[in-house]
Structure 1
Amino acid sequence: MKILCIHQNFPGQYKHLAPALAARGHEVVALTPKVKKPSSWAGVRILPYAVRGKSTKGIHPWLSDFETKVLRGTSCYRAALALKDEGFSPDVILAHHGWGESLFLKDVWPDARLGLYCELYHRADRQFTGFDPEFQRMAPEADPLRLRVKNLNNRLHEEVMDAGISPTRFQAETFPEPWQDRITVAHDGIDTDKVCPNPAARLDLPDGSTVTRDDEVITFINRNLEPYRGYHVFMRALPELLRRRPLAQVVLIGGDEVSYGAKPPEGKSWKQIFIDEVQDQIPASGWKRVHFLGRVPYERFLAMMQVSRVHVYLTYPFVLSWSLLEAMSAECAIVASDTAPVREALTEEDTGVLTDFFDGAAMVEKVCDLLEDPARRAQLGTNARAFVRANYDLQTVCLPRQLDWVERLAALQPRAPRD
């Protein structure tokens, strides 16, 4: 079988699936703007293409996002035509359609089966658009209109999608019901053999010191430190947390940019905004126990999880972070926000502790309670790892589900593009 992978940051979510398909003897090709030259990786032939065109200055802001997706879609379309001219005709196309690249691929190969990575459908429900009133958009009454336009990319893909795959039920259920019958829930998978407890783990901190499992380490992770992942709630609770736990070392991983939601005021970062907000509430001796690591290599991230005594995870109703499941796999004792995506993976007093997203005082109380109870931490961590191994393990659960999904996709009658 010939398989084409489309991802703007390949391998992305195909990190394990694409090599596994190649190992089964399938011819796997990837088109991506991430690389500049053709290359080979894990049995996959990777071909570059350039995104041509620029966004129109002064265009209506609701259309700017869609115009970018059309530019990416037409650029990928041209690369697909060149690939077709070489004689390549895929039986299956696997695409993360979130950036628009796969918009026109059925026009090149109408007989190919298109399988989409269905990450999120933008919902206008108040639990999504109005979850955090502090960061409410101007003119919230226009949210349904704005998001209807934002979903144009989703809607056009729905017409040609033969099947979809989504990592969690929460994410799959954001899509309209007509989609859901074609979406399989199968997570990307956690390598639980690698992400595991390590009593000998050590984490070097920016000040030159080192922490181990013998230290009281509280951890917090975002891809980028921002409100969508509760950074503001954590930082506002930090003065009391440091006061209550005079021996605790607080370690944060995350960049200074924006992954989701609104951008901060010009020239600022969310990270610094909330540092500044609590700056005077924490004495210098307290700040010495707060360590911002920025973005780190995976091995350092793993060491952080392995030395963590209590891990805090907060999120809006949104895409579930891999880091929560990785923390569970590392046997962390976890305090997490009582929000829908979290409840799918974490059960109160079984695999972790749930707390109101906005209640920083309650979060501090629950963190402190766990820090005072080693036996409870150990039991929660053991249960969390067992749950992840049973439901999210890469090799025994998730990858087999993904491979089965591809086989079922290949057997479908392809949907033709519409005019």
Structure 2
Amino acid sequence: MTRTVLFVHQNFPGQYRHLVPALQRRGDRVVAIGGPTSRPLPDTPLHRYDPLPPGGVPPCHPWAADFQTKVLRAEAVACCLEPLLRAGLRPDLVIGHPGWGELLVVKDLLPDVPVLHQVEFVYQLQGGDVGFDPEFTEADWRQRALLRLRRAPQLLALQDLDWGLAPTPWQASTVPAEYRHRLSVIHEGIDTTAIAPEGPARLQLQRAGLSFVPGDEVVSFVARNLEPYRGFHTFMRMLPLLQRLRPRAQVVIVGGEGVSYGAAPPGGGSWKEAMLQELGNDLDRRRVHFVGPVPHPVLHELFRVTACHVYLTVPFVLSWSLLEAMSCGALVIGSATAPVQDVIVDGRNGLLVDFFDHRALAQRLAAVLADPSPHNGLRREARQTVVERFDLARVCLPQQLELVDRLMA
């Protein structure tokens, strides 16, 4: 008997680029609803919705603007789904991400179909990303009020929750306690066969005319966008001291100049521009290489070459890049924040420093660069951690499929 799984994700395939083909390989039918930026997968019908209403976005109170965008997406998904149901679509399971409001009214069209929510993060009034960094915390009560109201769609989604899926224990802990009994902790998975220490290990920086191989004093930093949520300001403030301690160190920074989370710097522009202006002549820019976003294979080459990879984050969603770096056998210095501590134990499979202490970060990096061989055991353990806990084929995908079967049954 063929079963049908409906995926709803504004940027499909999103987290499901491995799960979708796995379902299809075993004979399940997959249908997807996504936003304008969604990308099709082979043999997967993709129906795109337009989140903008024909008459434009109506005016509303500024506090309600975020909620309104989610309501608009909920309506657009429902209007996309309704004709599919009339045409005969009968899903046995719906899988989606509630973060953009897309699942808010799915139960009104499919009241008897279980819905699996991808629960990445629930906003925290205390102890999460907002208010963590005092440099970017406003004392005004309005910031707290806005955060409280931004939680409303998340709490509405939890009220209708059949089952939730969180990638890490700390991210699961952001869900209110009364809903956690309907939650599984399963990561999306890392392809540790392809993302491994073995493979191309020479990094070419063509514009700089440089080439790096393992053993060179290379420090790496990677983020989707270079911004304070991922500790970019701390990393940059560390560099002048590191350059004095290690005159031969070369720094490779991967990431865009937009904003994924948080806000742009005061006065506009990018955080890269803001930090370069702040550091001025204290920074030797000849040894700092901003390469922008790079293809995945190049990123993995960087992880195989780097002498030390730095990963910093406020208490927020854990980046795939950390696990991919560890899977490549990179030595990671991470921030001693809860999402990172889910994965790295200081001195066992990596090193940890205080998120705000850029001097301690520079000194720890310098010590690693001065004598890398004693840290080889940390590299091996980092790789082993990902293989044992996050391997796509042997750990995560089988657990995801087992959960799907349980919900459809």
CA distance in 1, matches of 2:143, 2:37: 36
Which residue matches 1:416?
none
Which residue matches 1:123?
124
Deviations 1:206-229 (A, max 9, x none): 313211113211000111000010
**Residue 266 of structure 1: how far off its partner (Å):** 4.3
Which residue matches 2:347?
349
Q: Where do 5+ consecutive residues of structure 2 fail to align?
A: none
Which residue matches 1:44?
44
Which residue matches 2:145?
145
Give the match's secondary structure for 2:193. coil
Is contact 1:314–1:336 with CA below 8 Å preserved after alignment?
Answer: yes
Which residue matches 2:400?
402
Deviations 1:159-180 (A, max 9, x none): 2221000001111110101211
AA partner of residue 57 (structure 2): S
Deviations 1:64-90 (A, max 9, x none): 111001111100100000111111011
Which residue matches 1:321?
319
Which residue matches 1:31?
33
CA distance in 2, matches of 1:137, 1:329: 38
Q: How does 1:48-59 map to 2 (within 5 A)?
A: 48-53=48-53, 54-57=56-59, 59=60
Q: How does 1:199-348 map to 2 (within 5 A)?
A: 200-205=200-205, 206-282=207-283, 286-348=284-346
CA distance in 2, matches of 1:247, 1:403: 49
Which residue matches 2:178?
178
**Residue 151 of structure 1: how far off its partner (Å):** 1.2
Q: Where do 5+ consecutive residues of structure 1 fail to align?
A: 412-419
CA distance in 2, matches of 1:137, 1:7: 33
Is contact 1:200–1:212 with CA below 8 Å preserved after alignment?
Answer: no
**Residue 129 of structure 1: how far off its partner (Å):** 2.4
Which residue matches 2:379?
381
Moved more, 386-395 or 372-381: 372-381
Is residue 166 of structure 1 aligned with residue 161 of structure 2? no
Give the match's secondary structure for 2:315. coil
CA distance in 2, matches of 1:331, 1:187: 19
Paired residues, what number? 404
Q: Percent identity?
A: 43
CA distance in 2, matches of 1:127, 1:106: 30
AA partner of residue 172 (structure 1): A
Deviations 1:232-256 (A, max 9, x none): 0010111111121111110000101
**Residue 40 of structure 1: how far off its partner (Å):** 5.8
Is contact 1:199–1:213 with CA below 8 Å preserved after alignment?
Answer: no
Alignment RMSD, CA only? 1.6
Deviations 1:330-377 (A, max 9, x none): 111111100111111001101001101111110111111111222222
Give the match's secondary structure for 2:10. coil
Is residue 372 of structure 1 aligned with residue 370 of structure 2? yes
CA distance in 2, matches of 1:264, 1:396: 43
Give the match's secondary structure for 2:348. coil
Which residue matches 1:189?
189
CA distance in 2, matches of 1:307, 1:400: 32
Is residue 8 of structure 1 aligned with residue 10 of structure 2? yes
Moved more, 272-281 or 381-390: 272-281
AA partner of residue 176 (structure 1): P
Deviations 1:278-330 (A, max 9, x none): 12212xxx311110011111111111111111011111011111111111111
Which residue matches 2:81?
80
Give the match's secondary structure for 1:377. helix
TM-score (normalizing by structure 2): 0.95
Is contact 1:23–1:43 with CA below 8 Å preserved after alignment?
Answer: no
Deviations 1:23-80 (A, max 9, x none): 11111000112368xx9623322222222324344x3332111100111110010000
Is contact 2:121–2:317 with CA below 8 Å preserved after alignment?
Answer: yes
Is contact 1:94–1:114 with CA below 8 Å preserved after alignment?
Answer: yes
Give the match's secondary structure for 1:129. coil
Distance 1:77 1:290, change over 3 A: same
Which of 360, 363, 366 in structure 1 is aligned with 2:361? 363
